[in-house]
C-alpha cells in the first residue's frame, strides 16, 4: 500500500504540472461540458458541480446557460462530503476552506449528474485527485454510486495505462476534455 501511495504522490505532482501547462484549454473544456450537458443532461435533479481551485476548469458560468438547478459539494474537513443546493444565497467556507452553500444536504436521489475535477483519469475511469479521498468516500456509498459521475480535465491528462488503484477507488463513468466527452471502458478482469 505504501508504494501505491508513493506512486500516486509522484503522479499527482506530474499531472498537476501537466494540467497547469494546458490551462489555455480551460475555456474549450468548459464549452465541451456545455455541449455535453445541453445534449444529454436529464431534465430533473440537480447538477453537481464544484468550486474551482487553482488550474481547475471554472464551470460556474454554465449557470447562465443551463436551466438545471445546480449543487456544490460541502466537505466537512474530516473526509465527509455531500452536496447542497447552489442558489443565490451567500456561500460559506466549508471544512476545507472552499466556498460552499449554507443549506441542507441533498440526497443522492436529488442529483442527476456529478461533474468532478481531476488531475488525471485512465481509460477505466480511475481518477487521480488531490489525495483527500472525499469523492471516493462519498461514491463508495451505494446510493451515491448510482449517481452518474464524470471528470473534467485536459486531454493531455488522460492516461493510456491504468493508474494505481486502491480498493476504495470508484471508477467514474467517463470524462470531458476539450475534445468532447467519452465513456470509461469496462474495468479490466482481475
Q: Which domain holds residue 84?
A: 2-183
Specify if 56 maps to a domain.
yes
Q: Is 60 exceeded by the pLDDT of residue 189? A: no
CA distance 134 to 130: 9
Mean residue pLDDT across the chain: 93
Specify if 189 maps to a domain.
no
Specify if 81 maps to a domain.
yes
Specify if 190 maps to a domain.
no
Total domains present in the chain: 1
**pLDDT score at 1:** 44
pLDDT bucket at 187, cuts 50 / 70 / 90? low
Specify if 100 maps to a domain.
yes
pLDDT tens digit string along 87-145?
978 899 999 999 999 999 999 999 999 999 999 999 999 999 999 999 999 999 999 99
**pLDDT score at 60:** 96
pLDDT tens digit string along 23-56?
999 999 999 999 999 998 777 899 999 999 989 9
Specify if 175 maps to a domain.
yes
What are φ and ψ of residue 112, in 5° steps?
Answer: -100, -25
Specify if 188 maps to a domain.
no
pLDDT bucket at 6, cuts 50 / 70 / 90? confident
Residues 17/26, Cβ–Cβ less than 8 Å:
no
Q: Hey, what's the cell of 74?
A: 460541502
Give the rounded percent of residues in the chain with a pLDDT score beyond 70.
96
> Which uninterrupted H or E stretch holds 180?
strand 180-183
CATH number of domain containing 82:
3.40.50.10420
Specify if 150 maps to a domain.
yes
Q: What does the chain come to in residues? A: 190
CA distance 128 to 9: 10
Amino acid at each position: 500500500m505504501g508504494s501505491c501511495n508513493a506512486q500516486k504522490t509522484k503522479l499527482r505532482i506530474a499531472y498537476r504540472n501537466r494540467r497547469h501547462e494546458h490551462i489555455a484549454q480551460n475555456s474549450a473544456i468548459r464549452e465541451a461540458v456545455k455541449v455535453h450537458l445541453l445534449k444529454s443532461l436529464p431534465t430533473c435533479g440537480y447538477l453537481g458541480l464544484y468550486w474551482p481551485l487553482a488550474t481547475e476548469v471554472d464551470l460556474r458560468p454554465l449557470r447562465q446557460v443551463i436551466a438545471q438547478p445546480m449543487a456544490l459539494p460541502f466537505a466537512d474537513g474530516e473526509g465527509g462530503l455531500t452536496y447542497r443546493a447552489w442558489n443565490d444565497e451567500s456561500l460559506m467556507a466549508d471544512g476545507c476552506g472552499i466556498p460552499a452553500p449554507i443549506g441542507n444536504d441533498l440526497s443522492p436521489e436529488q442529483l442527476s449528474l456529478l461533474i468532478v475535477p481531476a488531475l488525471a483519469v485512465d481509460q477505466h475511469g480511475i481518477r487521480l485527485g488531490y489525495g483527500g479521498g472525499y469523492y471516493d468516500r462519498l461514491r463508495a456509498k451505494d446510493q451515491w454510486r448510482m449517481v452518474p459521475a464524470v471528470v473534467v480535465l485536459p486531454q493531455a491528462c488522460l492516461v493510456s495505462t491504468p493508474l494505481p488503484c486502491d480498493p476504495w477507488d470508484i471508477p467514474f463513468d467517463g470524462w470531458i476534455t476539450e475534445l468532447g466527452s467519452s465513456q470509461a471502458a469496462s474495468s479490466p478482469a482481475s
